[in-house]
């Protein structure tokens, strides 16, 4: 707006003496493409008659309304879209048929596992010592002790989750003769021991 007053009447050609004449346009330039004015137009004849009857009586009659709303396609039921969405929703069923007490699983939702993780062992605990304690519980499969790094930790594999759980409950907090600290801490391993 300031440009108008400061430039109006200014000589833009000193040799001819011509001056600028500036005034406000009577209406703003078009900002948005009106329906059908752009290169790409959505053509949908399926719902046209119903939509046009309602839309034409609205603000479009005022002609110069600066509504930014896109043309058409408001709440008209789009047949193709609804059909696609319904077909996508058919993808979740049939894997919850297992019984609640299914002990065949090696890994369950609550983290139970047929392999146990044993920590808080003494620094000089040996695999043989631990094995002699654990191997007397039913279903015992194999024991591995890993001492590299800090304190040793052990992994004990059982036939199934029930046997692993029984051994864990029986040995939880038990102190080995070699332990210089508290009793051992047993949990379910995060992953099953590699296939025997």
Q: For binding to DNA (CB under 7 A), which residues are involved? A: 115, 117, 119-120, 144, 146, 151, 153, 155, 157, 185, 187-194
Taking the C-alpha atoms of residue 168 and residue 118, their distance in angstroms, rounded to an integer, is 9
Report residue 111 CA to chain centroid gap.
22
CB of 188 to DNA, least distance (A): 6
Query: Which residue number, 34 or 181, has a Cβ lying nearer to DNA?
Result: 181
Question: What one-character-per-residue DSSP string does 89-153 give?
Answer: T----SS--S-TT-TT-SB-TT--BSEEEEE---TT--HHHHHHHHTTSTTEEEEEEE-SSSS-E
CB of 143 to DNA, least distance (A): 9
Query: Which residue number, 76 or 133, has a Cβ lying nearer to DNA?
Result: 133
Query: Which residue number, 30 or 146, has a Cβ lying nearer to DNA?
Result: 146
Query: Which residue number, 22 or 151, has a Cβ lying nearer to DNA?
Result: 151
CB of 40 to DNA, least distance (A): 55
CB of 183 to DNA, least distance (A): 10
Query: Which residue number, 34 or 194, has a Cβ lying nearer to DNA?
Result: 194
Report residue 172 CA to chain centroid gap.
37
Q: What are phi and psi of 91, to 5 degrees?
A: -145, 25
| 16-22-24 Cα angle (round to 5) | 165
Q: What is the DSSP letter of 74?
A: S
């Amino acid at each position: 707006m300031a440009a108008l007053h400061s430039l109006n009447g200014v000589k833009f050609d000193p040799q001819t003496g011509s001056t600028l004449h500036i005034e406000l346009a009577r209406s703003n330039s078009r900002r948005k493409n009106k329906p059908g004015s752009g290169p790409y137009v959505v053509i949908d004849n399926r719902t046209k008659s119903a939509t046009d009857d309602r839309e034409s009586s609205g603000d479009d009659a005022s002609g110069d309304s600066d509504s930014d709303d896109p043309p058409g396609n408001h709440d008209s039921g789009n047949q193709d879209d609804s059909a696609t969405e319904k077909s996508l929703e058919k993808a979740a069923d049939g894997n919850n048929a297992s019984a609640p007490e299914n002990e065949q699983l090696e890994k369950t939702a609550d983290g139970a596992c047929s392999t146990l993780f044993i920590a808080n062992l003494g620094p000089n605990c040996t695999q043989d010592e631990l094995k002699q304690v654990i191997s007397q519980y039913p279903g015992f499969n194999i024991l591995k002790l890993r001492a590299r790094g800090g304190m040793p930790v052990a992994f004990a594999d059982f036939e199934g989750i029930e046997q692993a759980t029984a051994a864990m409950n029986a040995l939880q907090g038990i102190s080995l003769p070699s332990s210089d600290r508290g009793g051992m801490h047993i949990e379910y391993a995060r992953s099953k021991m590699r296939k025997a």
